[in-house]
A and B are shown apart, each in its own frame.
Chain A
């Protein structure tokens, strides 16, 4: 019996791929446990503390370095070398790189997520915006035009304040790394990140974006349908949601576009989830078979059909279902530019601070300079233990690198 923990909706739909695996491997059985996505990080840490991790898990890409440092993960290089069907160079570089820490591979991407704007074609056209903006300046012009068109009660864009991703995706486009000195200190006062902060703040100052979190927008899909906002920066799972939830007459009025960057199509965070083998598993060989099976291009395409999640292998993208999907095209384009977040174990916590400081910035409680300084202050405090561990060499080989 192989124990497999997966998060959220994916944990539910992956169960439909298991019978095929069990048919091919009659001596193996798989038990899938579904973790709620918002509590998955806590539950994994708790399971680590309680020594009750499963054999194989699908964990958030930004958590890999943390669990690698905790010595909770099995390095996969030897197994990868022995498995012909799993080739790292077929994966999008940014996604694959999230699982590589200090030259060792600890994770195999399962599905990738990068965030980009969903937009309303009709509303953009009404406002006189002829083609989707590709740079920040064009995006700002478009938002200003939409705001003029829709008036004070509606907005041009939704950046949910309870998520770090919108601001982080703007910030990761910067040429400057997010952390400096091998992840010892925050680098949020870099000119590049400050420009992202300024862009973010301006969207709220000019009332292009509402001061709202997802919990206040009771139903994002309905509000998008009502034209409460025209751009919504979010992940690929929403392709399926918008198809399902928007009324028929709106179906040809929305589209996806690459996230604008400062000077042309921009980078974004290589998110998503990756398979890891937990150390101490008694059934590592069987668990690896499961990973190899779920990573086959054909299985990935079936999984995409079931969940709407995007496959991390280029080979999978040659499937007709994905080639023909107009909404997936922008994601395919952007995945080549997706970047991993800094590989320090504290990143998840720093991302939360980006969310909190971003909220203060959006509310006008902090200026851009103050927000940058505050983020550095908070990140430096969180990284204090890491600095100490690096200086005293108590940190394992999987310490990760900053940048």
Chain B
């Protein structure tokens, strides 16, 4: 047996699994997105039409798709940097020598990640309540007028971002913590001897060494945040005024609520293209900067 044949034989089981569970569904979805497959087609196949790119064109003409895209990009643009900043901050805090009860805080910060969205969303809905919520009560103590967090289309998305960041930052924090612990202590010692302030130590030692970790965390967070769904589904059902409808939420409604699988597949593909483009761009920037 030639070495290359042997290689294929060894890879075959894994490749076939990927083929069956990834490539075939993706191709099927691509085919579906070119038809108007819906519940009527399921009942009688003569109700199925081949529509070529009509699903895509109709989506691009649908104002709701654009506002869903806008909402998703808003969520990503604000949520991802905020989430990374908060998790990095928490990791630095937990890593510093000043912190007490590190295991306790590590667990506490990680706890939201492992609780279910639905359970904590109920609690957050109460926290965010306009008239009885704890958050508005706190703001009132500072003399700030109550904010209609979930009822005002301008505030609903910030409220969702707040919730998502709180829910997710623990996960990245653990990864950052591992990265921080891998930095040799003698680098800091040398910097201190040279008289570098903590801020300069952070800028010239911590950040560069953390670079690859930062890149990985960014890509993971980006990919995760593009798939915003559970938070608006549970907290706002896309409202008010559809201001928290995300692309994935739109796909869910089209696909699973109304069973318009053709349309839903088209939404999924557009999201896929968008996510590939964004992460590729991120990788390209990182490669140019020499991180990786």
A388 at the interface (CB under 8 A from B): yes
A46–B261 Cα distance when bound, in Å, is 12
Of A83-91, A94-102, A211-219, A233-241, the one contacting chain B is A211-219
A385 to B38, CA, bound (A): 10
B129 contacts partner chain A, Cβ-Cβ < 8 Å: yes
Residues of A contacting B47 with CB < 8 Å?
385, 389, 394
Number of cross-chain contacts by CB at 8 Å: 64
Does any Cβ of A come within 8 Å of B40's Cβ? yes
Q: In the complex, A396→B46 CA distance in Å?
A: 11
Binding-face segment, A25-33, A298-306, A355-363: A355-363
CB contact between B42 and one of A49, A162, A345 (< 8 Å): that residue? A49
Given contacts A218-B132, A356-B242, contact A71 B151 (CB under 8 A): no
Give the CA-CA distance A173 to B52 in the complex, in Å.
42
Q: Which one of B46, B151, B241, B256 lies within 8 Å of A365 (CB-CB)?
A: B241
Residue in B43, B130, B151 whose beta carbon sits within 8 Å of that of A70 in the complex: B43
The stretch among B108-116, B173-181, B232-240 that forms the contact with chain A is B232-240
Beta-carbon nearest neighbor of B130 in chain A: A216
Inter-chain contact A48/B42, CB cutoff 8 Å: yes
Q: How distant is the Cα of A212 from the Cα of B130 in the complex, in angstroms? A: 11
Known contacts being A49-B259, A70-B43, is A215 close to B150, with CB within 8 Å? yes
Q: Given A49-B42, A394-B47, is A218 in contact with B240 using a C-beta cutoff of 8 Å?
A: no
CB of A150 closer than 8 Å to a CB of B: no
A72–B39 Cα distance when bound, in Å, is: 11
Number of interface residues of B (CB under 8 A): 29
* Contact indicator B40/A359 (Cβ below 8 Å): no
The DSSP consensus for interface residues of chain B is loop
- Whether A161 is near chain B, meaning CB under 8 Å from some CB there, is yes
Chain B residues, CB < 8 A from A365: 241
Distance between A80 CB and nearest chain B CB, rounded to angstroms: 25
Which of A70, A218, A359, A360 is in CB contact (< 8 Å) with B39? A70
CB distance from B175 to the nearest CB of A (A): 34
What's the nearest-Cβ distance from chain A to residue B130, in Å? 7
Indicate with 1 or 0, residue by residue over A320-351, a CB within 8 angstroms of chain B CB atoms.
00000000000000000000000001000100
- Inter-subunit contact A42/B256 (CB<8 Å): yes
14 pairs, A vs B, C-beta closer than 8 Å: A42-B256, A42-B257, A46-B256, A49-B39, A70-B42, A161-B239, A215-B150, A215-B236, A216-B148, A218-B126, A218-B132, A345-B40, A385-B47, A394-B44
Q: Which A positions have Cβ atoms within 8 angstroms of B?
A: 41-42, 45-46, 48-49, 69-72, 161-162, 211-213, 215-216, 218, 345, 349, 356, 359-360, 363, 365, 385, 388-389, 394, 396
Which 4 interchain pairs have the tightest Cβ spacing?
A: A70-B43, A216-B151, A394-B46, A394-B47
Apart from A69-B40, A389-B47, list 4 A-B contacts with CB within 8 A.
A45-B39, A70-B39, A212-B151, A215-B236
